[in-house]
Amino acid sequence: MRNLKNIILSFSALAIASTLSTVAIAKEWRGWNIHKPGYPNTVAMDKFAELVKQKTGGEITLKMFHSGVLGNQPDAIEQVRIGGLEIGNFNLGPMGPMAPEANIVSLPFIFKNMGHMHRALDGAAGDQISAGMEKIGIVALAWYDSGARSFYNSKKPILKPSDVKGLKVRVMNNDLYSGMISALGGNPSPMAFSEVYQSLKTGVVDGAENNWPSYESTGHFEVAKYYSLSQHLIIPECVCINDKVYNSLSDKNKKAVKEAARESAKLQRALWEKRAISSREKVMKAGVEFNEIPNKKAFMDAMQPVHTKYLSANPNLVPLVDLIKNTK
């Protein structure tokens, strides 16, 4: 009887020790996302957090902070780089100046359409871009959609490149975006995304460029009623992790975290497609003046100097551009 009691006590002690050990090694990560509740990225990042916990057996938990509450996007990118945050959902636009490979996606009209972007980023081109990002301390786990960006403004429809001349257009803090607007004769105004609504409302800027869901969810359509379907950029977003954090994981957990990110990307892309349609319908009902652009080649030609200048400064990236263009 005494031996049985000792055996039970021994097993109990082992169970407690095992539990304490699990608690001791459990990791709690923090993640950044700029978007509001209900947005495709927000839903998908919450799903990512759920899957990380599930697939790692609770060894890793992720607490997501949405709506940019931990700071603006450039600051959050830097925080992930230095390890102040473990995870971020980032647009590649503001990341481009730090990682030349990532900047390739900000060359106007480099992607023919959303399908072309998916095939390129999910293949060899995406691997090369991710390798470039690792040089600055960030690992791309998966790619999210952020739609095709088009021009909108408070002054007039944009039908041809010369219609941009003289307009003050908000852009991300990236020389390629500024160069794109300058090539059309406009005045680029780099500023944080959170400042755009008030700047449009007060006339600090005349317009901006973004996708349907961002145009709708931010209320920009209320203060900039002309939306012109240029689709000059199709910029992917990443689910990103600090490289030291990722490389410290066991092979099992590396696989689990990457699988979780890629499953969340499937969800995000499906949600994005639906949201793009509903956002467009909502702003059209609100009275937005929408126009197609009859000759996009004129915009492509006008923006070609942006390509030429960037690739002249980064000739080693020409094969990556060719790889993207030749992706079927």
Of 236, 296, 247, the C-alpha closest to 89 is 236
What letter represents residue 100's amino acid? P
pLDDT for the residue numbered 25: 65
pLDDT tens digit string along 181-203? 999 999 999 999 999 999 999 99
C-beta of residue 141 within 8 angstroms of C-beta of residue 86: no
Q: How far apart are CA 141 and CA 265, in angstroms?
A: 10
What is the percentage of the chain residues whose pLDDT exceeds 90?
90
- For the segment 119-139, the average pLDDT, to the nearest whole number, is 96
Q: How far apart are CA 79 and CA 61, in angstroms?
A: 19
Strands of the sheet with 237-242, listed across from one edge: 60-65, 27-32, 87-91, 237-242, 138-144
Phi-psi domain of 185 (left: phi exceeds 0; alpha: psi -120 through 50; beta: other): left
pLDDT at residue 3 greater than cutoff 60: no
What letter represents residue 106's amino acid? S
pLDDT for the residue numbered 10: 45
pLDDT for the residue numbered 5: 46
Place of tokens 């450039």: 74
Of 212, 155, 160, the C-alpha closest to 169 is 155
Tokens of 237: 């977003």
pLDDT for the residue numbered 6: 47
pLDDT at residue 316 greater than cutoff 80: yes
Specify the CATH class of 26-146+235-277 in words: alpha beta
pLDDT for the residue numbered 45: 98
Confidence of residue 26 (pLDDT cuts 50, 70, 90): confident
pLDDT for the residue numbered 21: 40
* 3 state SS of 281: helix
Rg (Cα) of the chain, in Å, rounded? 23
Q: How far apart are CA 51 and CA 248, in angstroms?
A: 19
pLDDT for the residue numbered 23: 42
- For the segment 278-306, the average pLDDT, to the nearest whole number, is 97
pLDDT for the residue numbered 17: 42
pLDDT for the residue numbered 11: 43
277, HSE (Cβ side, Cα atoms, 13 Å): 5
Q: How far apart are CA 95 and CA 238, in angstroms?
A: 10
Q: How far apart are CA 227 and CA 221, in angstroms?
A: 8
**CATH placement of domain 148-234+292-325:** 3.40.190.170
Residue 251: CB atoms within 10 Å: 7
pLDDT at residue 19 greater than cutoff 50: no
266, HSE (Cβ side, Cα atoms, 13 Å): 6
pLDDT at residue 2 greater than cutoff 50: no
- For the segment 53-57, the average pLDDT, to the nearest whole number, is 98
pLDDT for the residue numbered 195: 95
pLDDT at residue 16 greater than cutoff 80: no
Tokens of 6: 């000792």
C-beta of residue 227 within 8 angstroms of C-beta of residue 288: yes
- For the segment 235-255, the average pLDDT, to the nearest whole number, is 97
pLDDT at residue 154 greater than cutoff 70: yes
Question: What's the pTM value of the predicted model, to 2 decimals?
Answer: 0.87
pLDDT at residue 90 greater than cutoff 70: yes
Nearest 10 degrees: CA dihedral of 194, 200, 203, 204?
Answer: 30
217, HSE (Cβ side, Cα atoms, 13 Å): 22
Q: How far apart are CA 36 and CA 66, in angstroms?
A: 6
- For the segment 225-254, the average pLDDT, to the nearest whole number, is 97
C-beta of residue 178 within 8 angstroms of C-beta of residue 188: yes
Place of tokens 């039908």: 159
C-beta of residue 190 within 8 angstroms of C-beta of residue 138: no
Contacts of 209 (CB under 8 A, 6+ apart): 149, 150, 151, 152, 169, 170, 171, 230, 232, 233
pLDDT for the residue numbered 141: 98
Tokens of 81: 């780089």
- For the segment 239-246, the average pLDDT, to the nearest whole number, is 98
Average pLDDT taken over every residue of the chain: 92
- For the segment 118-129, the average pLDDT, to the nearest whole number, is 96
CATH 3.40.190.170 placement within the chain? 26-146+235-277, 148-234+292-325
Tokens of 311: 């690739």
